[in-house]
């Protein structure tokens, strides 16, 4: 029988849930009015105001011209009601093709940011995914999902799942408009779910949702799409009981971009009201309500771990649990780098490890 960790809820105060969270762009509150804050990224006030200073620049898509990586990018609306949209990256080194085996795989990517910050238009993600699309010779759909605390989990999971349903509609109804010329280049039977940090958590939970639907209906809800694999880069997991890497690296040395305090704040803002870090969405192995991995039909998984990341131990424990459950798992440990090195660091060692990371992702995708 599975053992489950138990712990009391954090005592740090949260904003009242009697009002609705509201986003703002400019600081105007007194500092002591903030009840949750990650300096420079997000500040939440008692009255529900949520402020996100633009610490990272946003950039437009390159369409109709290819960028420095010879990749064309374009933004497409996914759901007008929720406001979700996606940035598509399409290598410009192929023509419109008709033969199925010549078409390119599609990577459905979810950005990081603790479920609370980040954007598909952030320059760091734009540059990383444009280069990844070129190196892998694949299409990438980078989803701009709803953020917490205005939209706590499972909103991001729902957006991820709906993005696959949207893709299904594109191929079934051949929605070929001037903004969707990429359809003719896409091999919809070779879909990969991917993301970094919170985005990797979203990719994993979207895969769980697909597995649950398939088990309930005995058929694939997204058919004729086929998810061939997952690429999880530094997946954002947690738990009430601290791991060795959390205790050792919790102060976030300069080589890492995630401290233990920031991680805890993200989880307080993202999880449903009344939950702690042993919720299944945070602690997928031992958390309350966690699924039984042996009963799931999961596609092959590549987990990319950073040696100097507070999440290192949780990522390795996650890999071990999948292996024990009989799942096909590969993992890569990136040496000498911390959390989000591939998008937030320009150091020589980060550049080298990013090159190795992309090469391993390419090998994984080609092999499936």
The C-alpha atoms of residue 174 and residue 180 are separated, in whole angstroms, by: 10
The C-alpha atoms of residue 343 and residue 124 are separated, in whole angstroms, by: 5
> Given this model, what pLDDT does residue 206 score?
98
Residue among 29, 6, 17, 54 at smallest CA distance from 269? 17
pLDDT beyond 70 at 108: yes
Which value, to the nearest 10 degrees, does the dihedral of the CA atoms of residues 353, 358, 202, 234 take? Answer: -20
121, 130, 197, 263: the active-site residue? 197
pLDDT beyond 50 at 193: yes
The answer to whether the beta carbons of residues 90 and 73 sit under 8 Å apart is yes
**List of residues 6+ apart from 274 with CB closer than 8 A:** 9
Q: What is the reported pTM?
A: 0.91
DSSP letters, 142-194, are: EEE---TTTS-TTHHHHHHHHHHHHHHHHHHHT---TT-GGGGGEEEEEEEEE
pLDDT beyond 80 at 11: no
> Given this model, what pLDDT does residue 94 score?
55
> Given this model, what pLDDT does residue 8 score?
25
* Integer angstrom CA distances of residue 174 from 142, 168, 169, 170, 184: 21, 10, 8, 5, 9
Domains of the chain: 12-55 (no CATH), 57-366 (3.40.50.1820)
| Residue 197 among the catalytic residues | yes
* Integer angstrom CA distances of residue 331 from 128, 172, 205, 218, 322: 20, 35, 19, 30, 11
Residue 153: φ, ψ to 5°? -55, 140
């Amino acid at each position: 029988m599975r053992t489950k960790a138990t712990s009391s809820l954090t005592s740090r105060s949260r904003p009242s849930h009697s009002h609705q969270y509201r986003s703002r762009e400019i600081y105007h509150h007194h500092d002591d009015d903030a009840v949750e804050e990650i300096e420079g990224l997000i500040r939440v006030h008692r009255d529900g105001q949520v402020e996100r200073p633009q610490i990272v620049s946003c950039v437009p898509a390159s369409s109709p011209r290819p960028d420095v990586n010879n990749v064309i990018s374009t933004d497409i609306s996914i759901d007008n009601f929720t406001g979700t949209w996606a940035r598509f990256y399409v290598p410009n080194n192929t023509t419109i093709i008709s033969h199925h085996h010549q078409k390119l795989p599609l990577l459905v990517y979810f950005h990081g940011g603790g479920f609370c910050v980040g954007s598909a238009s952030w320059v760091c993600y734009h540059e990383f995914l444009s280069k990844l699309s070129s190196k892998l010779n694949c299409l990438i759909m980078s989803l701009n999902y709803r953020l917490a605390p205005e939209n706590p989990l499972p909103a991001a999971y729902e957006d991820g799942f709906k993005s696959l349903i949207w893709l299904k509609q594109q191929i079934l109804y051949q929605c070929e408009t001037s903004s969707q010329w990429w359809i003719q280049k896409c091999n919809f039977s070779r879909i990969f779910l991917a993301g970094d940090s919170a985005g990797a958590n979203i990719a994993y939970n979207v895969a769980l949702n697909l597995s649950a639907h398939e088990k309930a209906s005995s058929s694939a809800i997204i058919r004729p799409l086929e998810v061939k694999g997952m690429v999880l880069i530094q997946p954002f997991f947690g738990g009430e009981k601290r791991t060795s890497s959390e205790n050792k690296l919790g102060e976030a040395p300069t080589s890492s971009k995630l401290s233990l305090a920031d991680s805890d704040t993200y989880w307080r803002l993202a999880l449903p009201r009344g939950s702690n870090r042993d919720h299944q969405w945070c602690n997928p192995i031992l958390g309350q309500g966690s699924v039984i991995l042996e009963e799931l039909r999961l596609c092959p998984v590549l987990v990319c771990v950073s040696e100097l990341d507070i999440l290192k131990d949780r990522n390795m424990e996650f890999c071990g649990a999948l292996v024990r459950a009989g799942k096909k798992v590969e993992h890569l440990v990136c040496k000498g780098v911390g959390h989000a090195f591939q998008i937030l660091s320009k150091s020589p060692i980060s550049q080298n490890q990013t090159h190795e990371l992309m090469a391993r992702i390419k090998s994984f995708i080609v092999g499936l």
